[in-house]
Amino acid sequence: MTDARNTEHPHDAELIAYLDGALNPAERASIIQRLSTDPDLRNRLILLSGGNRPFRDAFDALLAQAPRERLESRLAGLPAVQIQPARHVRAAPRWGSLRAIAAGIMLFLAGLGADRLLSSWNGHSAPPSSVETEAESDDDWRRAVAEYLTLYTSETLAGIPTDANLQGRELAMVGEKLGLRLSSQRTELPDLSLRRAQIFEYDGKSLGQIAYLDPQSGPLALCIIADGAADAAQQVEQRQGFNIVFWSRNGHSFMLIGRAGIARLQNYANDLSGRLAG
């Protein structure tokens, strides 16, 4: 009899085994193939990858960056609707109105695109303000990557078996989605162990992540998004305790992110920029 898991979405247990590097090469290749064509499955994998990581710290950082004044001014225009307590519930909610719930939700989502959500609630697409510049929009994906990478530890990557053939297929799959030629030779970096290549989706665009393990500083990632950006020289920044080097070339934006020193990341970026240009 054919196992239903071969024709349906993988169970959560299989996805967790994939994240833990516990699948055999054939099973892992099957998951990779499904991830390449199923955005819902990729989103489920992202949720499961958090596990028991310190979400609270990451969300506290989001809350600290939330545009509170702008959100609260828009919330003030929402009607206050009293919530009637349910008859068969032992403890009634303590919130007095939908506005209180909406405030908590929207502040929680502030770092993940709450402004666009609020604009749609107003019934029209609001034009960007002078504060919401194109540069701010362009760096949203780097913010999202940095927040997600806070969930990684060295142990996250150390347990993944190094299979050159499988890594080659992962890189080819990611490269196909991004419109780039990716291979082990083009992406290898001195003193780092390449552990995994994955494809995600951000704001409707393909986002590839190539994860490395640095024995000195822990997880390090090369992330690429096919965003049609104009060519731009290397710049550096810091987010969530990570050092970042980022640049754009041939319609793709690149970033190297990790806790390695800026000078070291810049050397890696120079090397990769030349190899990935063709």
pLDDT single digits (tens) 193-225 = 999 999 999 999 999 999 999 999 999 999 999
Average pLDDT of 120-133? Answer: 41
Is residue 230 included in any domain, yes or no? yes
Count CB atoms within 10 A of the CB of residue 88.
5
What percentage of the chain reaches a pLDDT higher than 90? Answer: 45
What is the tally of structural domains in the chain? 2
Q: Do 175 and 255 have their domain in common? A: yes
Is residue 270 a contact partner of residue 174, using CB atoms and an 8 Å limit?
no
**The domain containing residue 236 runs over which residues?**
153-278
pLDDT of residue 247: 96
pLDDT of residue 139: 78
Q: Are residues 276 and 165 in the same domain?
A: yes
Q: Please indicate, yes or no, whether residues 113 and 188 belong to a single structural domain of this protein.
A: no
Residues 130 and 45: beta-carbon distance below 8 Å: no
CATH number (domain holding residue 203): 3.30.200.100
256 lies in the same domain as 198: yes
pLDDT digits (tens, 9 = 90+) for 70-101: 666 666 666 655 545 444 434 334 434 344 43
